[in-house]
Structure 1
């Protein structure tokens, strides 16, 4: 029976991140990808803008999934508004413990949206007790922890330890050090995952791919630590095999892999 994994998140019109990358990752790792779309990223004044979907439409998408599918894993990406987070919170409460849930806390706000970002971050934290893992990068951890800039692996380690003491959540923070080092923290358990650092610029979507790969590997029955290790290798290979589409260099894996 085919495994079914759901991504709840935004559409990247440029095709390099968001649900587009999640679906490619799910397919490469032999799970059937389903989607609940929350927002769409478009170009505005030579920058990007996020257009949120109506909350009622997101609820209808989730109800459609619940009615028709037995899920094996869920990855949550960009939710965009506090109201959308509330809808996803209700979904997670209904299904907590039924399948692994991975939260990639995408924090994509312009500087002029400081108050919106603050409210959104506080609401996102309500998801923490309901998910199996969060996967922030260093910048996202800085915002979540209300910390100073995190420039070194040592700073990333210290902030992560302090953060997990304050919040009941397992976390792996990506992007530390001169080599590719990610830091995992689960209560008193800590582990660093170190691997080669790709010099290629085809890394757009790497964070999305990492969290959706963890979701897929968990759906296949691997442990959390095994899923993180496998996903780190998968993302490295995806960057190495990346493609240039338009002006962006996107992660890509041209061959399917067994889970």
Structure 2
């Protein structure tokens, strides 16, 4: 039977991030993808030009429709925008006993637009993170969750972030090091005891729109196929590295990655 993955996230009209990136990633990795749209964004390579959150009723109806009938072997959350939406999603995850929950704490778009209200961070911490199988923050997101002000420039500091985030309740922490100023692209996976490091070459391109969404979606796809967390992260790391390597120079700003590159060029 085909593995099934549900993305709960915002729609990116430009196609590079959000549910569009997630569904493409699910498809490329052989998983049947479904979605519950939390917000519609007017977005292109130049930035986010409008954010239109969906009503709680609309989000709940989508989740009930999918989970009561089709079900999901994994769930990936992206842009949740508000405390009320986060609380609703957490309630539904409990109601349907959802497994393999990948939380990508989307907060700020590449162009700087806010995608998570500041007051929603507390709801993220209290309601959703304890349900997560793994959370996948980049360095700015990890710092925002923990309210850390210090600059993060070393893997040792990344380890400290991971340890502190683990105390918030997820089973695994994946701290992404793409925002380190130099060196290879390093991600750290922490299970409360062991740190596992994933390395890849840093690709010299500005066209990285949607990388966080795509990386988390790839992890969710592999977890849906009953892969281990380590196997899932490694496939996701290879998938996103290939997607960035063959990123697309389209539009007038920051272009998207190529979601088909892993299949075409691996």
Shift of 1:152: 2.9
Q: 2:256 — aligned with what?
A: 250
User: What SS class does the counterpart of residue 169 from structure 2 fall into?
Assistant: coil
Q: 1:91 — aligned with what?
A: 92
Maintained 8 Å contact 2:9/2:38: yes
C-alpha distance after superposition, 1:140-168 (max 9, x if no partner): 0010011023233222222222332x312
Residues matched between the structures, number: 254
Q: Which moved more, 1:37-46 or 1:3-12?
A: 37-46
Q: Which moved more, 1:136-145 or 1:155-164?
A: 155-164
C-alpha distance after superposition, 1:34-89 (max 9, x if no partner): 01000012269975432101111101111111232021111010111111111101
| Superposition CA RMSD, Å | 2.5
Maintained 8 Å contact 2:41/2:48: no
Q: 1:161 — aligned with what?
A: 163
Aligned pairs for 1:61-80 within 5 A: 61-80=62-81
Q: 1:161 to 1:222 in 2, by over 3 A?
A: same
Q: 2:225 — aligned with what?
A: 220
Q: 1:46 to 1:28 in 2, by over 3 A?
A: closer
Distance 2:229 2:148 in 1: 27
**2:30 aligned with 1:17:** no
Aligned pairs for 1:1-259 within 5 A: 1-42=1-42, 48-96=49-97, 98-108=98-108, 116-117=117-118, 119-125=119-125, 126-148=127-149, 149-164=151-166, 166-169=167-170, 170-175=172-177, 176=180, 178-247=183-252, 248-254=254-260, 257=263
Q: 1:51 to 1:108 in 2, by over 3 A?
A: farther
Segments of 5+ residues of structure 1 without an aligned counterpart are none
State the TM-score, normalized to the length of structure 1: 0.90
State the TM-score, normalized to the length of structure 2: 0.87
C-alpha distance after superposition, 1:92-112 (max 9, x if no partner): 11233x531100011138999
User: What SS class does the counterpart of residue 27 from structure 2 fall into?
Assistant: helix
Distance 1:111 1:156 in 2: 22
